[in-house]
Amino acid sequence: MPDILEKVASITDRLNNKLIWKFARARRPIATDRPIVTFTFDDVPDTAWTHGAAILEKYDARGTFYIAGGLEGRVEPDRSLISADGCRDLFLRGHEIGCHTFSHRKVGSLSNRAFAGDLDRNGAFLMDAGISRRPTNFAFPYNAASPRIRQVLRQRYATCRAGGEAINRDAVDPWMLKAVEIRQPEDHALGLTRWIDDVATNPGWLIFFTHDITAAPTPYGCQPETLERLVSHAIDRRCEILPVCEALNRFGWKEARS
Ligand SMILES: [Zn+2]
């Protein structure tokens, strides 16, 4: 795509992503006296599995990995994507496997029917991979939500995670959870400890999202030392680190899919 078109597309995306919060209408309380921090990984690059999961486990914590089956084993110039075996390994080690669509297309680009088919396909992929628990939480590819497909998502998932760069506090829309991105440059990623300080001072639910965890990350990931710094800072500040599914239990959201 020519540069100028890419710029226009990126501005449109950003506008859409801003406007989309106006559709966040459902409300569930974040009832917690303790600060909760969740680390999530999208797509998922294999380094999030090999490095990211191990860092969480070192602190006896687990994360949520949003898998898009269509990316399985793909080798890109700057990253490789997780295999089906890798997904099963994460699951067996106690991490949560969430859904990130199969095709990794923007959800608004698909008809409701095509979207439902895509979700079924990802569910079948995960089942074939040996993940015996059906995914109950979803993350939007590119954080691009769409009000049109909201009903499809509500019927299938307890939550949907977008971006939004904010802490979930007070009452939130479970199908429009906000999250803070761990991305480059590394200084920026290291500075995200301020979000942990914020949630530690005024308890709520801070969700981070990122991609690859490696010495030379893409713009959308970070180095292992940086992830570890964030995890250990959360522990130091007495945050509880939980995958999405366990945070929901903590808030008593069992009925969130009603
Ligand atoms: Zn993605």
Residue in the structure block whose two tokens are 């974040």:
30
Model's pTM, two decimal places? 0.91
Query: Residue 68: pLDDT above 90?
Result: yes
Q: From CA 23, how far away is CA 39, in angstroms rounded?
A: 25
Q: What is the model's pLDDT at position 24? A: 64
pLDDT in tens, 16-64: 666 666 666 678 999 899 999 999 999 999 999 999 999 999 999 999 9
Question: Taking the chain, what is the end-to-end CA distance rounded to the nearest angstrom?
Answer: 42
Q: Are 141 and 174 in contact (CB under 8 A)?
A: no
- For residue 6, the CA-to-ligand 1 centroid distance in Å is 18
Residue 81 pairs with which residues in a beta bridge?
45
**All domains of the chain in start order, with CATH:** 32-251 (3.20.20.370)
Residue in the structure block whose two tokens are 């998502």:
153
For 139-151, b where at least 16 C-beta lie within 10 A, e where not — what string? bbbbbbbbeebbe
- For residue 104, the CA-to-ligand 1 centroid distance in Å is 6
Share of the chain above pLDDT 70, in %: 88
- For residue 201, the CA-to-ligand 1 centroid distance in Å is 31
Residue in the structure block whose two tokens are 């802490």:
167
Residue 51 DSSP symbol: I
- For residue 90, the CA-to-ligand 1 centroid distance in Å is 18
220: Cα within 13 Å, side-chain hemisphere: 17
Query: Residue 2: pLDDT above 70?
Result: no
Query: Residue 8: pLDDT above 90?
Result: no
- For residue 71, the CA-to-ligand 1 centroid distance in Å is 10
Q: Where are the beta strands (DSSP E) in 25-108?
A: 28-29, 36-43, 64-67, 75-76, 79-80, 96-99
Which H/E stretch holds residue 18?
Answer: helix 3-19
Give the chain's count of helices (H) and strands (E): 10, 12
Q: Would you place residue 258 in the very low, low, confident or very high pLDDT band (cuts 50, 70, 90)? A: very low
Q: What is the model's pLDDT at position 172? A: 93
Q: Would you place residue 5 in the very low, low, confident or very high pLDDT band (cuts 50, 70, 90)? A: low
| 26 or 106, greater pLDDT | 106
